[in-house]
Structure 1
Amino acid sequence: MRLLVLGGSVFLGRAFVSEALRRGDQVTTFNRGRSGTDVPGAEVVRGDRENDDDLRRLVEDRRWDAVIDTCGYVPQVVGRSARALSGHADAYLFVSSVHAYADWPEHRVDEGSALHPCPPDAGPDADVPYNTLKAGCERAVEAGFDGRLLILNPGLITGPYEQVPRLTWWLTRIASGGPVLAPGDPGRAMQLVDARDIAAFGLDRLTAGTTGRFLVSGVPGNTTVGALLDECVRVTGSDAAPVWADDAFLREQGVAEWTELPMWAPDGPEMAGVWLPSSDKALQAGLRCRPVADTVRDMWAWIRDENVSADQAAERGQGIDREKERRILTAWAATRGNDAGAGARDAGGHGAGAGD
C-alpha cells in the first residue's frame, strides 16, 4: 500500500510506520519534526496539520491508498486535515480512544456504546475535556472525508516508545530496587494492548478494505497488577519488593489514582469498567495480542537502549515522589503492627538500573 501517516515519529504512529515498512508498504509521514525521530525508510514531509498552506503542499499531485491519523486531538484541526485529504486517499484510519465513550470508565463499553456529545467543529479553546474532544474528532473525520472510514478505539496502550510513560515508570522504579509501594489488590485483572499489535491489526483491516469501528483494548484479563509488577522485577533483575497497600489507605494518604501509581484504578463505581472494554469484535476480526510479558521484556530493552530514566516519566506527570513513597511505606508498616515495611527508609533504591 501507499500510506500517509500523520505524525509517525512517536509511539503508536511510529509503530504503524515501522510495521508498514516491514511489510513493504510505501510510507510518507507528515509531521513538524519536533516530537520524535523519523523512522528510516519513510518519506518525510515536514509540515503542520493546522496550517492550510502546509496541507495544500502535502497533497499537491499526490494520492495514497490510505491515511493513518494517530495524532488528532482537536475536532476543528482533524476536520481540516480530513477535508484536505479527501480525494487524495481512498481510506482514512483514525485512531481515537476508549475515552470517547460516555459510559467509560464507569461501565463496560463496546462499539455500540454512546459517544460523548461534541460537535465536529469544536476548536482548541472549547471548554470540554479530552474525552469529549476525541468523540468530536471522530465526527470531524466522518463529516470531512469522502471515502472509506476506519475508526479504532484503543484502551490502555503499552509498548516501546510509550508516550505516556506508565509502564515505563514502573520498570524504571522497580529497576532501582528496594521496597516499592504497590497499589491495592495484586490479583486485580487488567487489560493492556501493545501499540505494535494495534498497528498490525489496523494495517490488516486497511488491506482488507474494512470500514467501521473497532475497540482494540486487548485480551480481557491478560494480566493482573501483581503479575505485571512481578514481570517488571524479573526482567530488570532487581531486588525490588512490592509492598501492597490497600486502596482505602492509599486514598487516605493522598495518592493520586492512575498517575502517582500509574494504572492504579481503585475499586469503586467510578472505575468499575476501566479494564472491561469489549474487544470481541476486533479479536474475531483478527486482532492478535502478544503476551504482556513480551511487551514488558521489549520495553525494558528499549529503556536500556535509549537510556530512559524515571525523571522522564516524572516530567510527563507519572510516578510518585520518592520521599512521599517512603513516608507512605512507613505509615503502612505502622498500620500492620510489624516491621513489614521497615525498609521503607531505603526505598530510594540501591540496585543498579535505569531508574538511578
Structure 2
Amino acid sequence: MKILILGGTILVGRHIAEAALDAGHNITLFNRGQTNTHLFPNVEKLRGDRDGGLAALRDRSWDVVVDVNGYVPRHVYDSASLLKDRVGQYIYVSTGAVYQTPFPINGDESHAVRRIEDETNEDTNTYYGELKYLCERRAEEAMPGRTLVCRLGLVAGRYDDSDRATYWVVRASQGGTMVVPGKPDDAFQVIHGRDFGNFIVRAAEQNLTGVYNTTGEVITWGQWVETAKAVGEADTTFVWIDDREFLERHVGAGWRHFPLYLPPDWGAWWTNNSDKAQALGLTYRPTEDIVRDILDWYATLPDDYMMRVGLSLEQEQTLLTHWQA
C-alpha cells in the first residue's frame, strides 16, 4: 500500500511510520521538516504546512492518509478535501479528551463528547478536546463513509519526550523513597506507541471506518510503579499520598509535578473501553515490556537530560519531611 502520513517524526507518528515500513508498505511523510529530519532517510518526504501550505500534496495519490498532527478543524478539512479524490481512506488520530467529564467506568464510544459553541474558535490550548472532536467531524464531512477515527489515551514507550509516563518509570527504577499521589489501586491505562502503530496499519489494510477508542489495557497505578521497580531491580519504597490539598500546598498538584494525576472531576478516565478496536485487531504488549522499553530508551539519552515534568529529588524530600512530620 501507499500510505501518506501527515506528521510522522514524533512519538505516535514515528511509531506508525515504523510499523508501516516493517509491514512492507511504501510511505510518504508530509510535514514542515523541522523535527527529527534525520529519520527515515530512504522515505519520500514532502514539505509544507497544514495552514495553507498543501501544494506538495496536489496531483498525487495514495491508498490511505494518516493524519497524526491535525489539531485545527479547518486544517483537517482542507487536507481531507484536497485528497478526497486521490486517497481511499482517511485515518484521523484523535483523543479521549473529546469526551465530557466525569468519564464513566468502562465508558465507550457512545459517551457524550465536548462541544464548542463558536466553531470558528481555533484556541487549541483552551479547547483541545472540543477542537479534536470538530476535526473528527470535518474529516468525515470531507470524506463521508471513508474515515476512521482513533481516540487515543496515554501513549508511552520509546520516543516519548513528554516524560509523562517516563518520569514514573524512571523514578521508580532508581530506588530510595518515592512519593506517588493517590492510591495504589487507582486505575491507570497506557498503550505502547508501537501497539497503536500496528493497529493503524491493520486498519489501513482492512479499510476500517468508524470511531474507535484505542486506549491501553486497564491496570492500576500500583502495578505501573511496582513493575518499574521490578524491571529496574530497585529497592524503591513507595509513599502514597492521597491528599491533593497537601500536595498543592507544598509543591503544587498539577501535571508539572505529578504528570497523569488527574483531578477528581475527570471521573474514571483511566478505564476507557477499547473492546471495539480489540475485536478488530488492537493488541497490547505486557506492562513489563512497556516499562522495559522506556528504560532501554531512556538509557540512550544524554547524561544531562532534564525531565520536563515530575518532582526533583529536593521537592520529593520536602514532601516526605512534611508528610511524615
- For the 8 Å contact 1:152–1:214, the answer to whether it is kept is yes
| Structure 1 residue 219: Cα displacement | 2.2
**How far apart are 1:185 and its partner, in Å?**
1.2
Structure 1 equivalent of residue 241 of structure 2: 245
In the TM superposition, residue 240 of structure 1 has moved relative to its aligned partner by: 3.4
Comparing 299-308 with 64-73, which one deviates more in the overlay?
299-308
Paired position in structure 2 for 1:130: 128
CA contact (8 A) 1:95 1:152 kept: yes
Flag the 1:89–1:104 CA change in 2: closer, same or farther, 3 A.
farther
Aligned equivalents of 2:284 and 2:254: distance in 1? 27
SS for the counterpart of 1:151 is strand
TM-score by length of 2: 0.90
Q: Is the 8 A contact 2:72 2:124 kept in 1?
A: no
Closer, same or farther in 2 for the Cα pair 1:139/1:297, shift >3 Å?
Answer: same
Report the Cα distance in structure 2 between the residues aligned to 1:104 and 1:185, rounded to whole angstroms. Answer: 19
Which residue identity does 2:287 align to in structure 1? V
Count residues with an aligned counterpart.
323
Identical positions, percent: 34
Distance 1:272 1:146, change over 3 A: closer
1:156 pairs, out of 145, 150, 154, with: 154
| 1:201 Cα offset (Å) | 1.2
State which of 277, 291, 300 in structure 2 corresponds to 1:296: 291
Shift of 1:13: 0.3
Q: Structure 2 counterpart of 1:169, which letter?
A: Y
Which residue of structure 2 aligns with residue 305 of structure 1?
A: 300
Please show how residues 65-84 of structure 1 align to structure 2 within 5 Å: 65-84=63-82
Cα contact 1:106–1:271 (8 A) shared by 2: no
The range that moved more, 320-329 or 64-73, is 320-329
Q: Offset at 1:330?
A: 0.5
Q: 1:319 to 1:76 in 2, by over 3 A?
A: same
Question: Does residue 81 of structure 2 align to residue 59 of structure 1?
Answer: no
Q: Which moved more, 1:288-297 or 1:184-193?
A: 184-193
Opposite residue 280 of structure 1, the aligned amino acid is D
Equivalent residues of 2:251, 2:257 under 8 A apart: no
Residue matched to 1:235:
231
Q: Does residue 25 in structure 1 map to residue 25 in structure 2? A: yes
Measure the CA separation in 1 of the matches of 2:253 and 2:74: 32
The C-alpha deviation readout for 1:220-246, integer Å capped at 9, x for no partner, is 3xx321221122223334443322222
In 1: Cα distance, 2:304 partner to 2:167 partner: 8
Structure 1: which 5+ residue stretches go unaligned?
Answer: 335-356
Q: Aligned partners of 2:304, 2:241: CA distance in 1, in Å?
A: 25
Displacement after TM superposition at 1:134 (Å): 0.9
Output the CA distance in 1 between the equivalents of 2:67 and 2:171: 33
CA distance in 1, matches of 2:223, 2:303: 23
Cα distance change, pair 127–18 in 1 and its aligned pair in 2 (3 A):
closer
- Bigger shift: residues 235-244 or 96-105: 235-244
Alpha-carbon distance change, 285 to 127 in structure 1, aligned in 2, over 3 angstroms:
closer
Structure 1 65/163 Cα, relative in aligned 2: closer, same or farther at 3 Å? Answer: farther
Match of 1:256 among 253, 259, 267: 253
In the alignment, the residues of structure 2 paired with residue 69 and residue 225 of structure 1 have an alpha-carbon distance, to the nearest angstrom, of: 31
CA distance in 1, matches of 2:302, 2:288: 21
Task: Please give the secondary structure, in 1, of the residue aligned with 2:277.
Answer: helix
Cα offset, 1:108, TM superposition: 4.8
Q: Measure the CA separation in 2 of the matches of 1:120 and 1:212.
A: 25
User: Which amino acid in the other structure matches residue 15 of structure 2?
Assistant: A
Aligned residues of 2:195 and 2:282 also touching (Cα < 8 A): yes
Change (3 A) 1:310 1:241: farther
> Once superposed, what is the RMSD of the aligned Cα atoms?
2.4
After superposition, the C-alpha distances for 1:164-203 in whole angstroms (9 at most, x for unaligned) are 3212122333454432111221122322111111111121
Gaps of 5+ in 2: none
Q: Secondary structure at the match of 1:33?
A: coil
1:196 aligned counterpart, secondary structure: helix
Question: Whole-Å Cα distance in 1 between the matches of residues 206 and 4 of structure 2?
Answer: 17
User: In the TM superposition, what is the alpha-carbon distance from 1:16 to its structure 2 partner?
Assistant: 0.5
Corresponding residue of 2:313:
322
